[in-house]
Structure 1
Amino acid sequence: MTPGNPIRHVEIPVTDLDRAVDFYAALFGHDFERVEVDGYPMALFPTHEGHPGASAALVMGDIYRPTRDGAVVYHHVPDIQRALAVATDRGAAILFPVKDLGDLGCVAEIEDSEGNRLALHQPAPAAMKEPI
């Protein structure tokens, strides 16, 4: 097996794709590509070949149910306080306040516009300067 990151793609369930795209676009500044796969509307997060991380999509459909229970997806943010301010301005609840993890940076968790638990991670300043 070729070494690499084991996670290739993450699908985040939503009940209102437009609302979710608006929320995530405001929070992260991403543009989303809209597609449909097997009858399920999706909004794809941008991907950059050759860079770390998995692809992801917001997905709406009968088998996709937002939840606070289950897997927690961590999103990189350069400024966690700013991200929390944007999220709460858009109605998000803070589920886990900012916790400093020293050399690992800091994390917080919120509930997104759809009811999913969403984690935010800001690397430590030294880690932000070094290539990954």
Structure 2
Amino acid sequence: MVTWFEIPVSDMQRAKAFYEAVFDVTIDLHNFGGMEMGWFPQREGEPIATGTLIKQESYIPSTEGTLVYFASNDVQLELERVEKAGGKIFQTKTQISPEHGFMGVFLDTEGNRVALHSLK
């Protein structure tokens, strides 16, 4: 049911560099009347939600509130890039259950809590 998410940032260039390093993707920057957005790439042919980094005064980075989960082939791959990119590991790779796979959580450079999920 989720179609879009927005991750608040204080420093768009710092956040862009962090997420590009962790996920090995390119984030496209857009400006809509003073609201800065960094769009995550859409995976062709995959019915998954995508979203944006967003910098605007009403968006405040936080470790509280909704937790966004990014899909991964193996949570450990992204977790290994987090600290090198300036973030912190909040929860190491943890098995949810044999049927539901694994999760991990990190704090990004902006102070947001973000999660990862993989089946292996």
- Normalising by structure 1, we get a TM-score of 0.83
The sequence identity of aligned pairs, in percent, is 33
Matched residues, number: 119
Higher relative CO (Cα under 8 Å, sequence separation at least 6) belongs to 2
Aligned AA (2:34)? G
In structure 1, distance between residues paired with 2:33 and 2:117 = 32
Q: Which has the larger radius of gyration?
A: 1
Report the 3-state secondary structure (helix = DSSP H, G, I; strand = E; otherwise coil) of the residue aligned with 1:96: strand
Q: RMSD over aligned Cα, in angstroms?
A: 1.4
Structure 1 consecutive aligned stretches of length 4 or more whose deviation exceeds 6 Å:
none
Contact residue 28 and residue 77 of structure 1 kept, 8 A: no
2:83 to 63, 77, 88: 88
Paired position in structure 2 for 1:112: 108
* Structure with greater helix percent: 1
TM-score (norm. length: structure 2): 0.90
Task: List aligned pairs for 1:36-75, cutoff 5 A.
Answer: 36-48=31-43, 50-75=45-70
In structure 2, the residue matched to 1:123 is 119
Structure 2: stretches of 5+ with no match in the other structure: none
User: Shift in Å at residue 31 of structure 1?
Assistant: 1.0
